[in-house]
Amino acid sequence: MTKELSRTSALASRHTTLGSGLEDWNGMGTAWSYHSDPNVEHDAVRERVGMFDMSPLKKVLISGTDSVAVLNHLTTREVQNIAVGNAAYLSVLTEQGTMADDAIVYNNGNDEWMIVHGSGDTMSLLNESAEGKSVSVSFTDTLHNISVQGPESLSVLNTHCDGDLAKLAYFQHGVYSLFDHPCRISRTGYSGERGYEVFVDEKHVGDVWDKLVTAGVMPCSFASLDKVRIEAGLLFYGYDMTTDHTPYEVGLGLTVTGTKSGYRGCDALAVAKGNEKINNVCLDIAHPDMVNGTETIIMNGQTVGVVNSPCYSHRLGKSLALCHVEPTAAKPGTNVHIKGGDIDCEATVVAIPIYDPDKSKTHQS
């Protein structure tokens, strides 16, 4: 039986024309695959420019005098430190100090903020944090977003934009006109490349998509997105982190402002810090193809972890996976064995990210 989707991308017909079955993610039909080869899409993002329909991400607008107080209770960063026109990646915690979600918060100015999140529990927790506060919380599906990623992303977008996007530093954003349509463009992404996310109303997004195709931008599926994000060590909620894990266990300690207090889960997180049961690592797997996921990781005859997010990188010539392992098995260079189903092979822990470890491509001026 086909699952009934509660949300629809205005780009759905374009995805089906490209071969997508509009598989579900976050309640919206998503382009998990196209007729095109994911390796060719992967090459486009790494060598030229590709784009992903990221509209299944949930966009929530927050406004009012208590916006900062509400977002400070919801998230792990000091929100008042996010200047107008800037954004920050952060964690949303349960009362137990574990990962309810990860998200990006944007300061749009004039006491208006936007939080963009995936499949975690951000919306209900935001509503709880907003109870009794002078704040408006509004989920919107009319605002779509196209993620344009790759070394040629700037030149392609700038050619058709009314402003100079080269002035945007990493995690900065602003209001522009692109192909004569109003939008917000953010220098963010999920690829490990320089890239931009275009937030545009559903009535304009089809025209923007079509004109980007005409400009030479390749539509890319989530099959290729998995490849680029795993190479770049970027996590996917529900696979690489869940409510079983603290930010410190999955490598997201950078999202926690150490001096901050008063946010949901902060006391429990303080107790848990330093007592991590697992670490998030990348494995270089001695196998000629992508493994299945959920394989057991073994060291010295003992189970020490599990495979979460696998891929095969044809560009690196490696079978890779993001995994959870016990801290004793987390050091780069550690040799382990993975086993499950038809997979029975050796693997080595490698430093994250395996692609562009200095992050020079995303952060370049």
Burial of 23 (0-12, 13-18, 19+ CB in 10 A): middle
In the predicted model, what is the mean pLDDT of residues 202-208?
98
Q: Among the three residues 140, 165, 193, which one is the final residue of a domain in this structure? A: 140
Going by pLDDT thresholds of 50, 70 and 90, the confidence category of residue 17 is very high
Is the domain of 146 the same as that of 42? Answer: yes
Judge if 97 and 134 occupy the same domain: yes
- Count other Cβ atoms within 10 Å, centred on residue 135: 21
Taking only the tens place, the pLDDT of each residue in 55-95 is 999 999 999 999 999 999 999 999 999 999 999 999 999 99
Place 246 in a pLDDT band, splitting at 50, 70 and 90: very high
| Cα-to-chain-centroid distance, residue 268 | 25
CB burial class (10 A; 0-12, 13-18, 19+) of residue 76? buried
Task: Compute the distance between CA of residue 251 and CA of residue 32 in angstroms, rounded to an integer.
Answer: 26
The answer to whether the peptide bond before residue 56 is cis (omega within 30 degrees of 0) is no
Distances in whole angstroms, Cα of residue 159 to Cα of each of 176, 195, 201, 215, 310: 13, 15, 21, 9, 37
316 belongs to a structural domain: yes
Average pLDDT over residues 33-62: 98
Range 226-241 average pLDDT = 98
How many CB atoms within 10 Å of residue 97?
22
Helices (H), 235-335: 266-272
Give the model's pLDDT for residue 1. Answer: 32
Pairing of strands 296-299, 335-340: antiparallel
Q: Is residue 357 part of a domain?
A: no
Q: Does one domain contain both 71 and 207? A: no
Q: In this model, does residue 227 exceed pLDDT 70?
A: yes
* Cα gap 318→225, rounded to integer Å: 16
Cα(193)–Cα(153) distance, integer angstroms? 9
Residues 51 and 69 in one domain: no
pLDDT tens-digit readout, 139-193: 999 999 999 999 999 999 999 999 999 999 999 999 999 999 999 999 999 999 9
Residue 210 inside a domain? The answer is: yes
Same domain, 46 and 146: yes
Q: Which residues of 103-115 are buried (b: 16+ CB within 10 A; e: fewer)?
A: bbbbbbeebebbb
Is residue 188 within 8 A of residue 169, CB to CB? The reply is no
Same domain, yes or no: 227 and 146 = yes
**Token pair listed for 342:** 């038809």
Q: How many CA atoms are closer than 13 Å to the CA of 77, on its beta-carbon side?
A: 19
Is the per-residue pLDDT at 346 higher than 50? yes
Average pLDDT of span 318-335: 98
Coil, strand or helix at 227: helix
Give the residue numbers spanning the domain of 90.
Answer: 59-140
pLDDT higher than 50, residue 216: yes
Over 70: is that where the pLDDT of 31 sits? yes
Q: Determine the residue type at 219.
A: P
Percent of the chain with pLDDT over 70: 99
Tell me: pLDDT of 2 over 50: no
If asked whether residues 110 and 184 sit together in one domain, one would say no
How many folded domains does the chain comprise?
3
Q: Which of 228, 225, 250 is nearest to 120 (CA)?
A: 250
pLDDT of the residue at 80:
96
Task: Tell me, yes or no, whether 294 lies in a domain.
Answer: yes
For the segment 220-249, the average pLDDT, to the nearest whole number, is 98
| 163 and 122 within one domain | no
Phi, psi torsion values for 127, nearest 5 degrees: -60, -40
Same domain membership, residue 151 and residue 31: yes
The enclosing domain of 156 has a CATH number of: 3.30.1360.120
5 pLDDT exceeds 80? no
